[in-house]
Structure 1
Amino acid sequence: MATTQLTASSISTRSLSSFEGFRTSAIQFPRKHAAIGIHTQRSFPSLVVKAATVVAPKHTTVKPLGDRVLVKIKDAEEKTQGGILLPSTAQSKPQGGEVVSVGEGKSIGKNKVEISVKAGAQVVYSKYAGTEVEFNGTKHLILKDDDIIGILETDEVKDLKPLNDRVLIKVADAEEKTAGGLLLTEATKEKPSIGTVIAVGPGSVDEEGNRKPLSITSGNTVLYSKYAGNDFKGKDGSNYIALRASDVMAILS
């Protein structure tokens, strides 16, 4: 993510209002030099700069290059499923958006590999992928094609169409009791690492630029790495995880 550094000489009292809403503790000024643009010493609330690159107003389009994709970020949820309003600090970071434009693809060996999504597609991406940019008053994300988990055209996670070497798994329910019959709280339940494959991607691209189909198929019960992938909650309350096929350790039968 792009970052911006501020110095004391670059801030005036007239520009301080533009930092309203920023988190605290990222910028600190020594008390001896706390006077910025005024004649008396005073302390300011600590400021932090959004980890986003703001594109100048004269630029109205951003064209991604290579295997990069420009995605318009979906707004964060402002309410819980029960209708409770969430403060900005409690809103989950969006993981989805609409593809605005794509790069020309990349070359592998003698072959050209095109981007796996088209403009207009609704996609889900890795939570901390890409670089956030803001232009035309809207937040966007520039990220690698490989950071896109899949295409999701509905509000149902189970409808996710994984891309490349990704696999969508419905997670098995966690055990609610120990072997001795004691009830487990949510905090002590073991995170499941077993689930049923719901959908698989077309496979990764080999050194010659050809797709290599995955050895995992829908319906397989699999054992996967415990802390891999991206977790999602379905509308029916079921848990899902999207991860790379290489994070699947075994097929169970």
Structure 2
Amino acid sequence: MAATQLTASPVTVSARSLASLRASSAKFGTLKPGTLKQSQFRSFVVRAASVVAPKYTSIKPLGDRVLVKIKEAEEKTMGGILLPSTAQSKPQGGEVVAVGEGRTIGKNKIDIDVPTGAQIIYSKYAGTEVEFNDVQHLILKEDDIVGLLETEDIKDLKPLNDRVFIKVAEAEEKTAGGLLLTETTKEKPSIGTVIAVGPGSLDEEGKRQPLSISTGSTVLYSKYAGNDFKGKDGSNYIALRASDVMAILS
């Protein structure tokens, strides 16, 4: 999984905001909900994206890189509850708006398989964020694209390269001794059913090597690998590399 990449980001705090923070509390531990008003933070600016000046009219990614228009964060829960900006989950999807010329492996030229206009899901911490025409974009390598999404439901994800898409088994409701478990004490499962597999990774000659894992298999995978998703039906899914699958259960 790629590390988070952040550009130099200016942080400005007005004197009035600092005075308000000091007056509110001398220690963080004494702050109470509602003590600070939203207006007190308006001068506190953090930018995590490189801003492209208006004089530039296009961005052309190079090599095996792809330019993605990031999908806006969800402002409401599935139940219609409005979320504050701090509680909105960071999007992991977007639309491909430009692609590079591809890469060379051995003597073979490998084009990028993902077309412009495609809706994709990408690794959570991949790429570099860029603000272009007041819209958030992401420049990332093709290999950081987890899969294509042809519908609005994550269960229909089509994994790419050596990715495997798994429906996670439900957590056990009871211990071996019959004690009921609460949501906080249920252990996260690392077992699931494979519902889709990618075409495989490229070898040193640029040829696809099919995966040995097939759909329908029940597998045991590395506990902290991959990217987690929740489907519209409430089911949990995970997309990870085939190398993170440790065993097939039968």
3-state secondary structure, aligned to 2:165: strand
**Cα shift readout 1:83-106 (whole Å, capped 9, x = no counterpart):** 110011100000000000100111
In structure 2, how many angstroms separate the alpha carbons of the residues matched to 1:241 and 1:12? 40
- Which one of the candidate residues 8, 24, 27 is aligned to 1:4? 8
Deviations 1:53-72 (A, max 9, x none): 00000112110000100000
Tell me whether 1:242 sits opposite 2:239 in the alignment: yes
Cα distance in 1, alignment partners of residues 168 and 13 from structure 2 = 53
For structure 1, list consecutive stretches of 5 or more residues without a partner in the other structure.
25-43
Letter in 1 for 2:192: G
Structure 2 alignment gaps of length 5 or more: 22-40
CA deviation profile, 1:220-248 (whole Å, cap 9, x unmatched): 11110011100000111110000000000
Which residue pairs with 1:182 in the alignment?
179
Label 1:170 to 1:134 Cα distance change in 2 as closer, same or farther (>3 A). same
Mapped partners of 1:12, 1:178: distance in 2: 51
Distance apart, 1:6 and its partner CA = 4.3
1:133 pairs, out of 114, 121, 130, with 130
**1:213-232 alignment runs, 5 A limit:** 213-232=210-229
Cα offset, 1:49, TM superposition: 2.7
1:92 is the counterpart of 2:89: yes
1:19-168 → structure 2 map (5 Å cutoff): 47-168=44-165
How far did residue 12 of structure 1 move? Answer: 11
What is the RMSD of the two structures over their aligned residues, measured on CA atoms? 2.2
Give yes or no for contact 1:116–1:163 (8 Å, CA) kept in 2: no
CA shift for structure 1 position 153? 1.6
Please report the TM-score for the alignment, with normalisation by the length of structure 2: 0.84
- From 202, 206, 220, the equivalent of 1:205 is 202
Q: How many residues align?
A: 223
The alignment's TM-score, normalised by the length of structure 1, stands at 0.83
Aligned to 1:31: none
Contact residue 72 and residue 98 of structure 1 kept, 8 A:
yes
Contact 2:219–2:246 (8 Å) recurs in 1: yes
Paired with 1:217 and 1:12, the residues of 2 have a C-alpha distance of: 54
Whether the 8 Å CA contact 2:174–2:180 is kept in 1: the answer is yes
